[in-house]
Structure 1
Amino acid sequence: MPAVQATLEYLQKLPLYEEEKPYWCFLPPHEGFDPDALRVDNLEFENHLDIKIEDIRELGREVTIDNYGFEVLQHQSEFARFDRARDVEQYREETEALLEEKMGAVHVKCYDSRLRKNITFVRNALDLNDLLLTEGPARGAHNDITYESGPIVINRYLSTDAKRKFLRPGYRIRIVNTWRTLNPLLEDRPLALCDSRSVDPEDLVAADRIIPNAVGEVYYLTYNPNHRWFWLEKQTPSEPLAFVMYDTKAGSHARFCPHVSFVNPNASQGAAPRESIETRSIVITKE
C-alpha cells in the first residue's frame, strides 16, 4: 500500500537540556498529590506534520532486526484477551519461546510487559506491579534502552546462573521488544518504527525515567528530516512486531529502534480504540 503522511511527536531541542537532563517521574496517584501543581517531568514535545511513513509490507523479506532494527513475525498467540495476571505470565513465557525460535536464541528472559489502550484513564490508585495495569499510548518518539542502561537491565534481570554462563565472549546479548495488537484489525493508533540507519547519534537524547524503587534511562528522539519511518498497515494479532532496543555487538547493523504511535489518517470513522500488549526481553544468541 502507498505510504501515509502523518504527524509524529518528537522531543523539542531545548537549551534547557544542555543544563538539565530530561526526566520523567512516575508518581502513583495519592492523597494530596496534584500533577497540575507539581511538575513530574521536564519533557517538552513538538508535532512534526506530514512525515512519510512507509508500509513494511512493501519491503518484503529484506526487513530484519539486523538491517532495519525491526521485523514482522508470524505467530498466533493463545491469548486474545488478558483477564487474569496468569494470562500475562503465560504470554511472557510464550514470547520467550517465540523469540528463542525466531532468533535462534540460547536463552530468553522476558522481564517486562505492558498492556495499552487508547482511551482516557481517570483513576485514584495505580499499582505498577499489577500485570493487568493498562496504560495509554506512550508519548514521544523514543527508544526504551540506552547504551548506559542496557548493561544495568541485563545485570538486574538475568539470574546468577545465566550471568555466569552468558556474560562472556562468544555470546551476543540484545534487548528486544515485541508489540502485538489485540484488535482483530488495527486502524487506531498504530506503531511507527524508525530505521536506525537514518538516525544520527546527536538525534538521541538520554532521559531519566524514574519510578518507585528504580531509575531507568531511555532515549528520546529529536527531529531530523532524514529519519525513515515505517508501519504495518492493517496489522493483525498474528503479526507481532519485534524490534531491538540494545545490542552488545558492535558494528553498522541496527542496534536500536526508535518508535512511537501515531494518528492514522486512513483509519475508518469510529475505528475501535487501539489495544495492544508489548514485552521487553533479554535475548542471548551465540556469536
Structure 2
Amino acid sequence: MNQLVSFQYLVHLPIYSYERPYYIFNNVPEGTPSGNLKSVHGPEQLVEDARGSEKDFDLDVQGFIFESRPLPPDIDWNSKEAIEQKYIPSVKAVLRDVLGDVQHCESFDWRIRHAAAAQVLREPDPKTNPDARTTRISPAFNVHVDQTPLGVLDRMRQIYGHEADSLAAMYRVRLINIWRPLVEVVEDLPLALCDARSASLDDLLEVSFVDHGYTRHNFMAKHSPDFRFFYLGKMRREEVCVFKVFDSQDNVAKRVLHGAFESKLASPGSAPRESIEVRLLVLSGG
C-alpha cells in the first residue's frame, strides 16, 4: 500500500560553499569540530508500493529490481564464517544470474542491520572488534548512496591494488547492493528506493567520513520534491532487492538513493526489522 512518509535529509548549509561536508570519528584537537553535518526530516512524500508490479523495474532504468530467491538453509547469522561460506556465494549467484556478463565479482562489505540497534554513523572496526561484521547496526535513515565515484575507485584500489586504474578503464564497473530481510515479513522500517531518473547530482552532497585511518566518500541527499520513492510492501525473507550504488556506463541508471522509513502500516507487535546487505564490485564487458 502506498504511504506518505517523512524522510531524513542532509541540510545544505552555507558552510558547504567553501568546506566539504564531513565527519571525523577519531579524536580531534580541542576546539576543533568533529563534523559539520546537520540532518532534518523533510515534508511528507509519497512512497509507492511495488508489490504486484515487481516486473516493471529494470536495473538500468530505475536502478533497482526485486527478485524472489530462496534463503540458503541453516545459516548462523551470528557467525562471520557461516555467512561468508554459505550466504555470500548465494548472493554472487543471484548477481551473475541477474547481470549475465560478469567477468569479476568481489564482495567487499556486508552488514546486518536491526531496528533495535543504536543509530550511529560509525561502522564497527574489524581490527579492534573481532565480531564487527556480525555486530548489528541500525537501519540508515538519511537518504543516501553508499559510495561516490571516488569512493568506488578507492575500493577498487583496495581490492586490485596497482591494477585498479587499468581495470577501471578496461571494464564496465558496477557497485551493487543486494538487500534481504532476515525476518519473515518486513513491516517495521522498510527500505525505500528512489527511481534513479527522478534524482540528479545536483540533489546530492558528497560527504567524507574519516575513520580507522580511512576516508570513505558517500553521497547524502538534499530534499527534492521530484524524488519518486518505492518500497516492496511486506517484503519477505525469500525476496531480495538488487540496486545500484555506481555504474560507469553512460545512458543508464547510475545510482539509487535509498533509506529506511517509519511505516504507518506496521502491525502492533510486528517483528523489528532485521536485514542483511552485501555490497559487490562487478566488472563486466572486458
TM range (shorter): 0.7 to 0.9
- Residue 257 of structure 1: how far off its partner (Å): 0.3
CA distance in 1, matches of 2:15, 2:276: 34
Cα distance between partner residues in 2 of 1:54 and 1:232: 8
Q: Which residue of 2 aligns with 1:274?
A: 273
- Rounded to whole Å, the distance in 1 between the matches of 2:282 and 2:183 is 27
Comparing 141-150 and 260-269, the one that deviates more: 141-150
Name the CA shift for 1:223/1:76 in 2 (closer, same or farther; >3 Å): same
2:158 is aligned to 156
Give the aligned CA root-mean-square deviation in angstroms: 2.5
CA 1:121–1:150 in structure 2 vs 1: closer, same or farther (change >3 Å)? closer
Preserved CA contact (<8 Å) 1:178 1:241: yes
Structure 1 residue 75: Cα displacement:
1.1
Question: In structure 2, how many angstroms separate the alpha carbons of the residues matched to 1:167 and 1:49?
Answer: 39
| CA distance 1:53–1:94, shift in 2 (3 Å) | same
- Matched to 1:101, the amino acid is D
Matching residue of 1:185: 185
Structure 2 CA distance, aligned partners of 1:87 and 1:7?
A: 37
Q: 2:145 is matched with which residue: 143, 148, 160? A: 143
**83, 87, 93: which one aligns with 1:97:** 93
SS in 1 for 2:155: helix
Question: Which residues in structure 2 correspond to 1:25-44 (within 5 Å)?
Answer: 25-27=24-26, 40-44=34-38
Q: Aligned AA for 1:203? A: D
Judging changes above 3 Å, is the alpha-carbon distance between structure 1 residues 227 and 167 closer, same or farther for their aligned structure 2 residues?
A: closer
Distance 1:127-1:198 versus aligned 2 partners, 3 A rule: closer
SS of corresponding position for 1:174? strand
C-alpha change, 1:76 and 1:26, in structure 2 (3 Å) is farther
Give the structure 1 partner of residue 125 of structure 2. Answer: 128
Distance 1:38 1:238, change over 3 A: farther
TM-score normalized by the length of structure 1: 0.87
User: Equivalent residue of 1:49, what SS?
Assistant: coil
User: In the alignment, which residue of structure 2 is the partner of 1:116?
Assistant: 113
- How far 1:13 sits from its partner (Å)? 1.9
SS of 2:108's equivalent in the other structure is strand
Task: Specify the SS of the correspondent of 1:183.
Answer: coil
| 1:86-143: CA deviation from partner (whole Å, max 9, x where unpaired) | 1221222322222112211222111000111111449xxx952122121111231000
2:53 aligned residue: 59
The amino acid that maps onto 1:42 is N
**2:54–2:65 contact (8 Å) kept in structure 1:** no
Identity of aligned residues (%): 27
* 1:210 corresponds to 2:206: no
Q: CA deviation at 1:38?
A: 8.5
Alpha-carbon contact 1:3-1:55 (below 8 Å) kept: yes
Maintained 8 Å contact 1:100/1:106 = no
Q: What amino acid is aligned across from residue 271 of structure 2 in structure 1?
A: A
Unaligned runs of 5+ in 1: 28-32
Q: Which residue of 2 aligns with 1:87?
A: 82
Counting only pairs closer than 5 Å after superposition, residues 5-20 of structure 1 correspond to structure 2 as 5-20=4-19
Question: Quick one: which amino acid aligns to residue 74 of structure 1?
Answer: S
Unaligned runs of 5+ in 2: 127-131
Map of 1:243 onto structure 2: 243
Deviation of 1:193 (Å) = 0.4
Determine the structure 1 residue equivalent to 2:129. none
Quote the offset at 1:148 in angstroms: 2.1
| Partner secondary structure for residue 68 of structure 2 | coil
Local SS of the residue matching 1:215: strand
Amino acid at match of 1:84: S
Instruction: Report if the CA contact (8 A) 1:198-1:226 is conserved.
Output: yes
Equivalent residue of 2:78, what SS?
coil
Change over 3 Å in CA distance of 1:23–1:13 after alignment to 2: same
Q: Secondary structure at the match of 2:69?
A: coil
In structure 2, how many angstroms separate the alpha carbons of the residues matched to 1:245 and 1:278?
12
CA offset digits 1:141-163 (Å, max 9, x no partner): 000111222222122223778x5
Q: Distance in 1 between matches of 2:275 and 2:227?
A: 25
Residue 286 of structure 1 corresponds to which residue in structure 2?
285
Query: For the Cα contact (< 8 Å) 1:100–1:107, is it kept in 2?
Result: no
Aligned residues: 274
